[in-house]
Chain A
Amino acid sequence: MSSGEKFFHLTDYVTDRLNPILVKETRQALKSRQFIITFMLLLTVAWLISVFGTIWYGPAIEYGSAGRAFFVAYYYVIGFATLFVVPFGSFRSMLNERDHNTYELLSISTLSPRQIVTGKLLSSLVQVFIYYSAIAPFIAFTSLLQGFDLAMVTLFLVAGLVWSSFVSMIALMLSTLSSNRQWQAINTIGMIGLLLWQMSGAFAISAAAFSESIPFDQNEFWWVIGTMLVTIGTYFLLAQQIAVSRLTFESDNRSSGVRIICTLQFWLLWGGVWAFSHQYGTALVDEDTIVGCTMVSAIHWFITGLFVSTEPDHISRRVRRNMAKLGAFRFLVAPWLPGGRRGLLLLTMHLVALTAIGRMDVWPDWVHNIVTVTALYVFIYVAIGAAVGRLGQAISPEFRPAHARVLTILIGALAMIAPYLPAAFGFTRWDNKYTLGEVANPGRTLMIIEDTARTISPPGLAMVDDILTTLGWIAAVAFLINLRAMITGVTEVRDWKPTATQGSSVSELEGTEVAAP
């Protein structure tokens, strides 16, 4: 066997073990006009920077910090390729599958949705590495100059790689959300805008960071880096899971993965707060930090809750078949199983946990109030959405989860502006004094609670009590409306008797009733 043949067999052997999408996309990308143009442009611009930079510096290149200046210029060049061209390629990659009618062929192959998403992401990473390898000789050139800082260069290159992967994943996820061809042109323009925005933001942060010395020796710096990595990592996982869920077959479990990651994110946030306060004492974790984290958690659970609590409640045979055999275990994991009823339970559990954390004795009363009121608001609005969703589905099978979500947002928006309508139409006079009629507006209500805490006015405190009582009653009603559904959601999975485990072949389903359409 010649060495050429040996090499061919070796590459064949290796590529057989790789993700098929990665192999295909890399083959396609390396032949594509977009890649060739970007690659040549990158080399040309980097070469021009080197030549004109050297001429501009003249003999001064041997002194000062020319190395850092050259690196910054190269970093922006590679940034354009890795933060704009590559993520946009990821976005287009999935849309092209739909445009060229190849997605359906892909989806009926034995590749899993996760393999498809991972393959597309890996092919983006391969491109990033190729661009990095193209710029590497130029960065090596900067290492010969004064002002070159290996630690800083490594940090920025790794940060660029991490951010590029993250943005590519987000782009990929967004492309799976856009299945309607009529909206694709608008989505593409939106995506370009989003990518330019994040790239300019990343450049601005980089520019600020380049002018400072990086405090590698300070613990706080590593806390920030760690927090950023955990945040990016978990949102990366969430975006990946959403993309996978979007591509997953309808009768399969599309929900549990997203629920688990959202739960993980919540506990990582508060676990991080606890770890930080454990290391540095509660002095560094002040009330504003807790309120900030509460708001992040509230937004997180409002969005998650709105999606998971309006899902269809039906659990397919396929999902049932894969559930745990032990009833007690199914009971425990019920909130993470698909279905709106169980979704609302998941939300309720976490809002209770958030309230418990926020009402710990170490925080003052006003923080207790803020956290409680925030959790109540999230529960009330999502519970209304869940009830609307169930009611809508009971009235018409054409009522979809998306309708329930939009309706919830509209109800929320209406509830928030309704108290101001009489004044807006001139029926009453607007005096900027908070009344209980504005309790539907979370923004204004929370502001009033915080202002009351800072001014410590007795009339204000009475109003806070009224707010808490009112919201408590509304939440209790919302809870009672949804209580039966939540109980059914748990009991139906707990009481389900597993039967078919080896696949639902014709013989296993023989005699099964055909559901009424």
Chain B
Amino acid sequence: MIEPIPSDAEAVDRGEPSLELRHLHRFFGRLKAVDDVSFKAWPGQVMGFIGPNGAGKTTSMRILATLDTPTAGDAFVCGYSVVDDPDKVRRYLGFMPDSFGKYANMNVVEYLDFYARAYGLKDAERRDAIEHVLVFTELRKLADKSIDTLSKGMSQRLGLGRCLIHDPQVMILDEPAAGLDPRARVELRELIRLLATEMDKTVLISSHILTELGEICDSAAIIEAGQILAYGTVDEIQRQQASIDTESTGRRSLHVRIASADNLEGSTSSLEKWLLEQPMVKDVQCSTGHATFDFEGDDNEQHQLLQNLMTAGHPIIEFHGKTQSLEDAFMNITKGITQ
């Protein structure tokens, strides 16, 4: 098993975490849905919770949302235990499940109004909260529209608005982008980003669309078969995976870009020819202006290769190790185990 990555985030003093899972376990009979899961998240942080189907994401999120109780361990929201103080946790938490719960015979404002009342907001406070949510989610124009007739994208916005109505510190979003068209996904992504940057909220988000998570998350926890396999900032996970790859294969993947010139095709072809002649260079792949290849040397030999490239007169403007995307990291870390 790949050891969880010690997070830089934890090394830096960021005050009290607003979200913490501490040795969380949830067993259903013999099935270990969540098996000793621990991680933390701080205000202003968007944390991706990534894992294949049945990995334990939703179970962990439901425990955090006080919809389920752990078999052992505990989780804390703004310092309050989800087991001991679910009432207090609920004041600080907004949860958006993967399915949008709709009421019949109700319009957008009535829906928000009900949840505002359910969270104890009264008078002007309630009206202001509804107005704020309508503006933030850009649902003002649809205020009188029946929620039965909303599109999937608008429903997700309304779901997000419902989570926000009582201005919680922590938001847990379970697959919020599932089933959305590309435009709605981008818009929702922007809203989520704003929650962390503008409103300083902690967002824990699960999604299968890893490219998207990579763009909005500061940190991530990768879970499989109920166990956390990697946890840290997205950069940390990607770097860690790249170095694990290098250690295990003895190769490092490098990328070179050359400057645009009159004869870019020719320059690329010349670079490819030169690279193929180098003893430690393998699997060269070239496209116009770019070359990617595996290098079997150490840092000194890599330095020497760069010097040789320059000496050979190739117009190099970029030379770096190829970084792993979150998707690559996910594929490397997980093994496709299903429970």
Query: Chain A interface (Cβ within 8 Å of chain B)?
Result: 12-13, 16, 20-21, 23-24, 27-28, 31-32, 96, 100-111, 249-252, 316-318, 321, 398, 500, 503-507, 509, 514-517
Contacts and interface: CB of A to CB of B under 8 A. Distances in A.
Interface stretch (B62-70, B228-236, B268-276): B62-70
A13 B123 contact: yes
Contacts of A509: 74, 81, 84
Contact of A106 (B20, B105, B118): B118
Given A110-B90, A251-B83, A505-B79, A16 B126 contact: yes
Given A317-B83, A509-B81, A514-B22, A24 B103 contact: yes
Interface in B161-195: 162, 166
Contacts of A24: 103, 106, 110, 114, 117
Contacts of B120: 110
A304 B118 CA distance: 33
29 contacts: A13-B123, A16-B117, A16-B126, A24-B106, A32-B104, A96-B104, A101-B102, A104-B65, A105-B162, A107-B67, A108-B90, A110-B90, A110-B91, A110-B118, A111-B118, A249-B66, A251-B69, A251-B86, A317-B84, A318-B83, A321-B84, A500-B84, A505-B79, A506-B20, A509-B84, A514-B25, A514-B73, A515-B73, A517-B27
Contact of A109 (B76, B85, B115, B123): B115
A312 to B, nearest CB: 12
Contact of B84 (A32, A102, A504): A504
A504 B80 contact: yes
Interface stretch (B42-50, B93-101, B300-308): B93-101
Contact of B83 (A111, A316, A506): A316
A110 B87 contact: yes
Interface in B3-27: 16, 20, 22-23, 25, 27
Contacts of B80: 503-505
B88 interface: yes
Interface of B: 16, 20, 22-23, 25, 27, 29, 65-67, 69, 71-74, 76, 79-81, 83-88, 90-91, 93, 95, 97, 99-106, 110, 114-115, 117-120, 122-123, 126, 162, 166
Contacts, number: 127
A316 to B, nearest CB: 7
A28 B106 contact: yes
A166 to B, nearest CB: 27
Contacts of B22: 514
A32 B105 CA distance: 7
Contact of B114 (A16, A23, A515): A23
A79 B20 CA distance: 55
A107 B120 CA distance: 14
B84 A251 contact: yes
Contacts of B65: 104, 108
Nearest to B23: A514
A-B pairs with lowest CB-CB distance, top 9: A20-B117, A102-B101, A504-B84, A109-B118, A31-B105, A101-B101, A514-B23, A517-B72, A517-B25
